Amino acid sequence: MSFAPVLRFLALALFAVAVAAIVPALLALGLGEAMEPFVASAFVSGFAGACFLVLSKGLPRLNAIRSGFRELVLALSLFWLAVPFAAAIPLIEQTFSLWSAWFEAVSALTTTGAWLSEPAARSTVSGMIYRASLEWLGGMASLATAAAVFVRPEFVGVVPPSPPFARGKHDSYLRAFSSAFRAFAPVYASLTAVSFFAFMIAGVPWAEAATLALSLIASGGFAPTPGGLAAYNNAALGVAMATLVVSAINFVVIARLALQGSDRLKSGPDPETRAFILLIIPVALLFWLSVGSYDWSDFPPQIVNAISLLSTNGSFIGETPQLVPLLVTAVIGGAAVSTAGGIKLLRWLITFQRAGQELWQLTHPGGVLKQGRPAIYEFGVWIHTIAFTIVLAVLVLTVAFFGYDLELAAATAVAVVTNAGPLIAAAPGSTSDFIQFTEPLRVILAFGMIAGRLELVLLLLLFDREFWET
């Protein structure tokens, strides 16, 4: 196994955290806020990144086994586990310990948006921008990871159209990740800028517009006002809905459209985007019915809630729907290559398609001879679903073991695994503040967030000794 590319990966990640800290430091200087924590984070991250980069150059260049798959799995695991310690430095001042600050940093980088205290998270402009910047960075990493690793039959159960940065038979996963990152980054940044200016045109103050644009494009669920998205006018809500839709649909299609022109979309249909759009109204109707008022004036806010939950943004406005439909919607999730969490739409589509085929064969015995998609392609879907269910059940039991109500335990487990932190506010008697949980439990929940971002198949590989030895 070659450690040089892993160290280079971590070095670049730490440099990105340093840049994310520099901008809030400059804002703090101009606004009279404390800039020392951000300067410290930038220095520590930059210095550690430089050390890793120098160390990587001194290591022998070994051939990556399995086309660099193990190296990428190790690099991603360290990105979610270790990099948050550097990103946590500015957050220590607002929290009570290193582990609490690490929890918030993990929450930001995994785009979960699970803050210890919402008022503390938006107490300063520099703090808001910093948290939203970490979410933006985590969203970019999630997109590149999904495109480089998860758009494969073993993970999604179907052979998808190959993106322009797809890994070849003999190419490296790390190179595919780098190619995906370079292809997505300008589009991702441009869409964020468009969202920011759209919020400004809608009358949102610049600091709040920046926070919303950075967070919503990453499905981070961070609203910079006490009233959440409901505090803004209809024009701003429209911008927020459009940004959330972009965060949840297939980013490969968006990148192709932006970089190559619409002719590249002729490679095939995009079932996930179609499914997402078609689900919005039925889910909104389900939310509206669960509210129980049967007043049509309550229906438009539920459209916003449907988009927010399907994109695993996690926040909601208007009357709060019943907890069960909210949890189920978050579990569905968005597209496979998106910043959304959940099981992902493509896996659900494959599951329903297979169920339909099996039912057809039961009623048409001759259909067993019909050639279809190889079942081996669907193993990744079943493994992921089973692992997702196991992790979800373990987290529910763990939270309940700490003495919390079952409804809050279920909401918390779904919120962290689907990276939809604000969802816990839907549980009876709960708020969106994670300070209500004890610190040891919060550490466990942070690992749940990481599990949701790693995808459960990769999580299983972390504990496979044979995978690391051979």
Q: What is the dihedral of CA 217, 221, 226, 231, to 10 degrees?
A: 50
- For residues 164 and 123, the model is more confident at 123
- For residues 89 and 371, the model is more confident at 89
Query: With contact defined as beta carbons under 8 Å apart, do 295 and 289 qualify?
Result: no
- Dihedral pair phi/psi, residue 255, rounded to 5°: -65, -40
Query: With contact defined as beta carbons under 8 Å apart, do 300 and 280 qualify?
Result: no
Transcribe 375-413 into DSSP letters: GGGGHHHHHHHHHHHHHHHHHHHHHHHTT--HHHHHHHH
pLDDT at position 249 over 70: yes
Lowest mean pLDDT among 74-78, 157-161, 319-323, 338-342: 157-161
pLDDT for 264 equals: 40
Mind listing the pLDDT tens digit for each residue in 102-136? 999 999 999 999 999 999 899 899 999 999 999 99
- Residue 83 CA to residue 77 CA, distance in Å, equals 10
Residue 447 CB: number of other CB atoms within 10 A?
16
Mean pLDDT of 203-207: 95
- Residue 260 CA to residue 247 CA, distance in Å, equals 20
DSSP structural state of residue 312: T
- For residues 348 and 447, the model is more confident at 447
- Residue 88 CA to residue 95 CA, distance in Å, equals 10
Tokens of 184: 């997505």
pLDDT for 187 equals: 92
- For residues 169 and 355, the model is more confident at 355
Query: With contact defined as beta carbons under 8 Å apart, do 347 and 341 qualify?
Result: no
pLDDT for 262 equals: 43
Lowest mean pLDDT among 130-134, 201-205, 350-354, 457-461: 457-461
Question: pLDDT > 90: what percent of the chain?
Answer: 54
pLDDT band at 242 (very low <50, low <70, confident <90, very high): very high
Transcribe 425-439 into DSSP letters: GGSTT--S-GGGS-H
pLDDT for 253 equals: 83
Lowest mean pLDDT among 182-196, 210-224, 334-348: 334-348
* Mean per-residue pLDDT over the chain, rounded: 85
pLDDT at position 293 over 90: no
Mean pLDDT of 243-263: 80
The owner of tokens 């669907």 is: 378
Question: pLDDT > 70: what percent of the chain?
Answer: 85
pLDDT for 435 equals: 93
Mean pLDDT of 288-297: 89
pLDDT for 269 equals: 57
Give one word for 118, left, alpha or beta, with left for phi > 0 and alpha for psi -120 to 50.
alpha
Tokens of 206: 């610049």
- Residue 95 CA to residue 86 CA, distance in Å, equals 15
pLDDT for 228 equals: 87
The owner of tokens 């990152």 is: 181
Lowest mean pLDDT among 163-177, 347-361, 432-446, 455-469: 163-177
pLDDT at position 405 over 80: yes
pLDDT for 371 equals: 54
Mean pLDDT of 11-23: 94
User: pTM for this one?
Assistant: 0.90
Residue 234 CB: number of other CB atoms within 10 A?
9
Instruction: Choose among 326, 269, 277: nearest CA to 302.
Output: 326
- For residues 398 and 177, the model is more confident at 398
Query: With contact defined as beta carbons under 8 Å apart, do 416 and 114 qualify?
Result: yes
pLDDT for 58 equals: 73
pLDDT at position 283 over 90: yes
Mind listing the pLDDT tens digit for each residue in 260-280? 654 443 444 578 888 999 999
Q: What is the dihedral of CA 138, 146, 352, 325, to 10 degrees?
A: 0
- For residues 357 and 210, the model is more confident at 210
Instruction: Choose among 63, 225, 252: nearest CA to 144.
Output: 252
pLDDT at position 236 over 50: yes
Query: With contact defined as beta carbons under 8 Å apart, do 85 and 102 qualify?
Result: yes
pLDDT at position 325 over 90: yes
Give one word for 334, left, alpha or beta, with left for phi > 0 and alpha for psi -120 to 50.
beta
Mean pLDDT of 146-160: 62
pLDDT band at 39 (very low <50, low <70, confident <90, very high): very high
pLDDT for 378 equals: 66
Query: With contact defined as beta carbons under 8 Å apart, do 174 and 75 qualify?
Result: yes
pLDDT at position 250 over 50: yes
pLDDT band at 51 (very low <50, low <70, confident <90, very high): very high
Lowest mean pLDDT among 201-210, 256-265, 303-312: 256-265
pLDDT for 65 equals: 45
- For residues 240 and 183, the model is more confident at 240
